[in-house]
Amino acid sequence: MAVKVSGVDGQVFKRALLGSLTWLAGNHEEVNRLNVFPVPDGDTGTNMLLTLQSAVEDVKESNAAEVSKIAKLASHGSLMGARGNSGVILSQIFRGFARAVEGKSSLTPTELAAAFEEAANAAYRAVNKPTEGTILTVAREAGRAAATAASGPDATVPSVIAAAAAGARAAVLKTPSQLQILRDAGVVDAGGFGLQLILEGMLKTFEESDPSFAALADVKKPAAIPAAQVALDLPEGGWGYCTEFLIEGTNLDTELIRGQIESLGNSVLVVGEPELVKVHVHTDDPTSVINLAGGFGKLLKLNVGDMSTQHRRILESEGGAGDGVPRPNGVGLAAVVAGRGLVDIFRGLGVDAIIQGGQTMNPSTQDMLTAIESVPYEEVFLLPNNGNVVAAAKQVPGLTSKKVHVIETHSVPQGVSAVVAFRPERPANENLRAMKAEAERVQTIEVTHAVRDTRSNGVKVKKGDVIGLINDRLEFAGGDYSEVVKQALGKLGPDSYELVTVYRGEQASDDEMKKLESEIRSEYPGLEVEVQHGGQHHYPFILSVE
C-alpha cells in the first residue's frame, strides 16, 4: 500500500531523508567495494554514509512543517559532517537543494524536480574541474529525469522521485563508458552509486507503508558489479607513467602546450605563467612527452613514475623495490645468490638478474654473462657475493659490449649492504663508490660445519665441528651454533654495532633458530636482531653485523 502524498513538506522530506539513510546504511559496503584506485584510500560508501548521517542528525529532532527548514538543517549538517570527495560533493548537493527550496513550505512535483536540478548544478559549481562519469553526472541525470517526469500530466511526488532514482540508476550504469578507469576495473562509479542509493531510499518511504525503516536494510541488496581491488587486471600497456616537470622559458603558452601534450596522454594538467609552466600527464610514452616539452624551454624537476608499479603491489604482495620504473641513471644490477629467501631479498631490493650459485656451486663466467645480457640496461653492476666467485666475475667485463663493473662483494651481507646503498637517480660512479664503502662497513659472520680435521688461523677443528668465520677467516670452533656466534660477536665488539641480521640457512632447525636468537638477545641486549629466511645451503647461519 503506497503512502498518499500531494506535496513535499518538511515532515515528508525528513521521512525521505531517513529512508535514504537507512537504505545507504544497509548497502554502503557495496559502495566501498567499488573502489577502483589501486592504492588503499578512504572508502566512498563509508564517507557518504557518515556525511548523510550528519545531515540527518540535525533533521531528526526537528518537527518543522516547512520543507525549507528541513532542507536547510540537512545542508548545514552535511556540510559539517562532509568526509572525502564524495561526501563534500554530497554536501554541495544538499546545499543546492536547500537554496532552491528557500522560503517554501511544501513542494509540488515540478518544484521538487527543479530542486533536484538545482542541487546538481550547485554540485557542478563547487568542483574545480568537473569530471563526467562521476557522482556529478549521476546527479545531473537524476535531475533531468525528474524534470521530464514532472512535465507529464499525471506527475506525482513519488513518480518524480521514482524517475530521479531511475535516471540515477541509468546514469550509474553508463559511468564505465565515460571513465576509462571504471571500464578497466569493470565497475561503476562508487559516488554515483551512493547517490543512486540515496534516491532509492527516498523512494522506498513512499512505496512502503511500514515506516519501520530498519526493515528496509534487509531488502535484497542491489546488484552492484563486484570489484575487489585484488581482482583488477593490469590493462595492456599498464597504467602508464605519471610524468611531471616544469618548463622554464619565455612567452610560454599554456594553451598551446596543453593542446600538444593532450595528444600524448590523459589527466593532463598544464598550469603556470609565461616564464614557468607546470606539466602533469599520465602517458604510456614519457620520452615523447619530454622531447615535445623540451622544445618549449628548459625542463626542471622532471619526475616519471610508473603507476602500474603501485598497482602491481596489490596483485603481488611480494612486490620488489621500484621494479618497473626505468632507472634515471641507466644502471642495471646482477647478483650471484643461492637460497630461495636470499633470492627474494635481492629481488626485493631491486636486483634485475639473479645468477644461481654460491659456495659450492660456483657459477660460470658464461652464466654471469648470460644474466647480464638479460638486464635491460647497457651499464650493469655485478655482485659475486662470494669469495670463490669473484675471479670468474672479473672475467665478465671483457666479454660483453655492455659496460660491466664488478663490485667485489665476498659475502651475502656485503652484497645486501651494497645493494641497499644503490640509488637509481645517482650517477653510476657515485653509486659504485657508495656501494663499495657500504660493503666494507659491514661485518660478516658465517657459521658452518668443518668438512675435515684441520688447523687454521691457530684454531684446531675436527670434522663435523661447528665453525665460525669472521670476514672469511676461521676464528672459532665449537659444538654449538649459539656458542660460536656469541664468541664471534664478542670478538667483533658488540658495542660498536647496532644491528645483527641473521640469514637462516636450510639446515638450521626452528629450535636452533630460536635458541640462537634468544641467546644473542640476552647476551647482547644493546643489539637489534632481525631474522630473515635465507634458505642457503651449507651455512646454517650467516650473520650481518653493522
Partner 1 sequence: MSRTFAVVTDSTADLPDQWRDRYGIEVVPLKVLFGKETFRDGVDMNNDEFFRRLAASSSLPTTSAPSPGEFAEVYRRLAQDHDGCISIHIGAQLSATAEAARVGASSVEGFAVNVIDSQSVSMPVAFLCRIAAECESLDVATEAVRDRVPKTRVLALLDTLRYLEMGGRLSRAQAMIGTMLDLKPLLLVANAEIKPVDRVRTRSRAISRMVDYFKNDLPVEHVGVVHAQAPDEAEQIAVALRKDLPGREVTVGQIGCVLGTHTGPKALGLVYLKN
Binding residues for partner 1, rule: CB under 8 A, are 39-42, 54, 76, 79-85, 88, 91-92, 95, 126, 301, 303, 305, 309-310, 312-313, 317-323, 341, 344-345, 347-350, 416-417, 420, 423-424, 498-499, 501, 528, 530, 532, 546
**For residues 11 and 310, which CB has a smaller minimum distance to partner 1 in the complex?**
310
Query: Which one, 27 or 309, has the nearer CB to partner 1?
Result: 309
Least separation, in Å, of the C-beta of 212 and partner 1?
A: 24
Minimum distance from residue 300 beta carbon to partner 1 (Å): 10
Least Cα distance to 179 among 171, 166, 170, 189 occurs for 189
Q: Which is nearer to partner 1, 323 or 519 (CB)?
A: 323
- The answer to whether 206 and 13 are in contact (CB under 8 A) is no
Nearest partner of 346 among 535, 510, 513, judged by Cα = 535
Burial letters for 332-371: b for 16+ Cβ neighbours within 10 Å, e otherwise?
bbbbbbbbebbbbbbbebbbbbbbebbbeebbebebbbeb
| Smallest distance, partner 1 to C-beta of residue 414, A | 13
Closer to partner 1 by CB, 80 or 391: give it. 80
End-to-end CA distance of the chain: 77
* Interhelix angle 135-150/84-100, nearest 10 degrees: 30
- Cell numbers found for residue 177: 563508458
- Which residues touch 412 (CB under 8 Å, ≥6 apart)? 337, 342, 385, 444, 503, 534, 536, 542, 544
CB of 530 to partner 1, least distance (A): 6
Torsion 457-462-467-471 (CA) sign? positive
Kindly state the smallest distance separating residue 421's Cβ from partner 1, in Å: 8
What SS3 class is residue 131? coil
Cβ-based nearer residue to partner 1, 89 or 369: 89
C-alpha cell at 149: 517526469
Question: Which CB atom, from 152 or from 322, has the smaller least distance to partner 1?
Answer: 322
> Which of 223/230 has CB closer to partner 1?
230
Compute the least distance from the CB of residue 76 to partner 1, in Å.
7
Minimum CB separation of residue 198 from partner 1 in Å reads: 18
CB of 30 to partner 1, least distance (A): 20
Asked if 502 and 543 count as a contact pair (C-beta separation under 8 A), the reply is yes
CA-nearest of 239, 248, 240, 244 to 303 is: 244
Comparison of 149 and 416: residue with beta carbon closer to partner 1: 416
DSSP state for residue 229 in the 8-state scheme: G
